[in-house]
Structure 1
Amino acid sequence: GGLLDVVLAPDFAQSRRVWLSYTEAGTNGAAGAVVGYGRLSDDARQLADFKVVIRQEPKLSSGANIGTRLAFDRDGFLWIGFGDSFRSSTAQDLDQLQGKLLRLNADGSVPQDNPFVGHKNARPEIWTLGMRNPQGLALNPWTHQMWESEHGPRGGDEVNIPQKGKNYGWPLATWGIDYSGEKVPESKGGQVEGTEQPVFYWKNSPAVSGMAFYNSARFPQWKNSLFIGALKEKNLIRLSINGEKVVEEQRLLTDRGERIRDVRQGPDGYLYVLTDESNGKLLKVGLNEGADAPRG
């Protein structure tokens, strides 16, 4: 739990609005995600007038699978990826926010063209369902599509391009197995009619975390790349992208032995990588000139 994501509003230069997602305890001993925004003070020391926009209710999580990544698209819509709170069936329930990708207006209201607006017993904020535990959310700078990455159970980590109103399967369809080593109880296999296939998946989970597209001329060797952190594997994954397909996979920072929680491209064309350790670090990562090996 704790603080889950931080993003700036697209009009931050004027509004100074900062969006946060974080975990909030409930009266029943369980927790849920909260998303809201405040205004960064002129001295950049505090957020003022913080407003909560949406809460996961009912609160169901004991601390696992909260997910909750935030991203804005080029039209100014806010996308929110909520985990299933380790209650897998909720991902298929349209009256609950767990296991869903949401889409909101920049002020937190519901866009009227969301797929479940006006549907009885469905939350209008929902864009897609059947997500397990979103850990990455990033806008593809070339196609302007939102991409999402998520933890599978034991195996079956995924990368998806979430399409309006579609069902991404969890827990009915998964390429992973249960933590017990047995089949996920609700699973009907990797491919299930009425559900969408991931763009890419790992049979053995690297435990994916935050992700970012690379769209800078500084390191042309990284052109058309998607970078994803790995917690279990303790490395940085580079996926080469061609349209909507992953055509190559590479592992970077393999010698550090540190869990990687998030990755972003900086305005200088370098990658900025957060490690998830008791002595966590912010790493600045680039390439040696004429080489494919990263340097920090």
Structure 2
Amino acid sequence: MIAKPSALLFPAALLATSCTASAGVDSDTASASDFAGFAIEEVGSYDRPWAGTFVPGLDVIVITEKSGKVVGHDVANGKAIFFTGVPEVDYGGQGGMGDVAFLASEASQPLSGRTIYLSYAEAGEGDTRGAAVGRGKLLCEDHQTCEIRDWQVIWRQAPKTTGRGHYSHRLLFSEDGKYLFVASGDRQKLTPAQDMSNTLGSIVRLNLDGTAAEGNPFATRDCTCEEIWTYGHRNILGMDWDAQGRLWDVEHGPAGGDELNLVKVGTNYGWPTRSYGEHYNGDPIEDHSADDGFGKPAIWWTPVIAPGDMHFYRGDMFPMFKGDAFIAGLSSNALVRVEIDGESAKEAARYDLDKRIRSVFEGPDGALWVLEDGEGGRLLRLTAK
């Protein structure tokens, strides 16, 4: 449900920073250390929102709600857009409707006729479920209603398992628009993340129709792993491309050890053999070592930040942050800003928003948008003061 917009001004005192540092901008522009905080506008509220994105080329935001709804917000006039024809989801625990994505190649088209991609938790036989990804075409007969037609499931996490956690199911298109990357969580089963006979605990790289993309690193091996790009992951909740065109992910550790990873093709990131956290029952997990053969996080957090999403900033509204990663923090109730230096990373600031933050994305004008987690989660627009 859309709430009446209201403006909120967050003073700098409420935007706690872990440290301040220059982001390497020209001396005649504001530096990160001069940053005095965001002006925050409340735009709407939703029932347990999970993902949000601008439709390329339009001032329209599309938001998923875990219970299975897809809703839109027209920034120009403030009106809601309602989507029908959405797939049935298995709602419960961490499962339900997941991510939403649109093709940049269709940016010149109206909303009607666009291709919409959705990820979600899908029921299987017995007490099993798994992530699924599908796509369809939008038919919008008026300005507030769009029907998803010709819906087709193009990929399924395999195998379906018991439990309702760690679907991951974030979606990201390659920068050239030819491929779809899907984060596939370990479904809280741990060891399958080291077994390439399944797609749990991996990032898969697909053609736009869901088939395995040519050139994937394990396609010639004697395994059913032709989709896998990287593996040894736990629960990826965010993926994005940096300014150099490199893929990064952010994922939940167990008790401690949340990770930001530079994703290198064919790499095994070690879960559950190695981690900077420990199991929830207190059982230890061996830390990474230089010679362990696994990919290492660029930065890790204990205590955890509980990442919900991530986005590399590209806009001009905050030039001092261009190239930095913003991570939505759940248990940390914050936006966490990370500076990248080659293959290293460091937390530069933590902006306390006093609520669990599920998603962060960028508007066409460079404003940052965030979605709060949970019932009544607000959509907020963050601009320069």
Same-fold status (TM-score > 0.5): yes
Alignment of 1:130 with 2:224, yes or no, is no
Aligned to 2:22: none
Mapping for residues 66-215 of structure 1, pairs under 5 Å: 66-76=167-177, 77-140=179-242, 142-184=243-285, 188-191=286-289, 193-215=292-314
Aligned to 1:258: 355
**Take 2:220 and 2:339, find their aligned partners in 1: how far apart are those partners?**
40
* Cα pair distance change 1:155/1:102, threshold 3 Å: same
TM-score, normalised relative to structure 1: 0.91
- Secondary structure, counterpart of 1:159 in structure 2: strand
User: CA offset at residue 61 of structure 1?
Assistant: 4.2
**Take 2:315 and 2:255, find their aligned partners in 1: how far apart are those partners?**
35
Counterpart AA for 2:153: V
Aligned to 2:64: none
List alignment gaps of at least 5 residues for structure 1.
289-296
**Identity value in percent:** 38
Aligned to 2:21: none
Aligned to 2:84: none
User: CA offset at residue 66 of structure 1?
Assistant: 1.0
**Take 1:246 and 1:57, find their aligned partners in 2: how far apart are those partners?**
33
Q: Which has the higher contact order (CA 8 A, sep 6+)?
A: 2
TM-score, normalised relative to structure 2: 0.71
**Take 1:56 and 1:127, find their aligned partners in 2: how far apart are those partners?**
14
User: CA offset at residue 218 of structure 1?
Assistant: 1.4
Aligned to 2:106: 12
Say how many residue pairs are matched. Answer: 282
Give the number of the structure whose alpha-carbon radius of gyration is greater.
2
- Which one of 62, 70, 76 corresponds to residue 163 of structure 2? 62
Q: Is the 8 A contact 1:12 1:18 kept in 2?
A: no
**Take 2:328 and 2:234, find their aligned partners in 1: how far apart are those partners?**
18
- Secondary structure, counterpart of 1:281 in structure 2: strand
Aligned to 2:69: none
Aligned to 2:123: 25
Q: Is the 8 A contact 1:61 1:86 kept in 2?
A: no
List alignment gaps of at least 5 residues for structure 2.
1-94
- Secondary structure, counterpart of 2:376 in structure 1: coil
Runs of 4+ in 1 over 4 A off after TM superposition: none
Counterpart AA for 1:174: S
Aligned to 2:317: 218
**Take 1:137 and 1:109, find their aligned partners in 2: how far apart are those partners?**
20
Aligned to 1:237: 336
User: CA offset at residue 26 of structure 1?
Assistant: 1.4
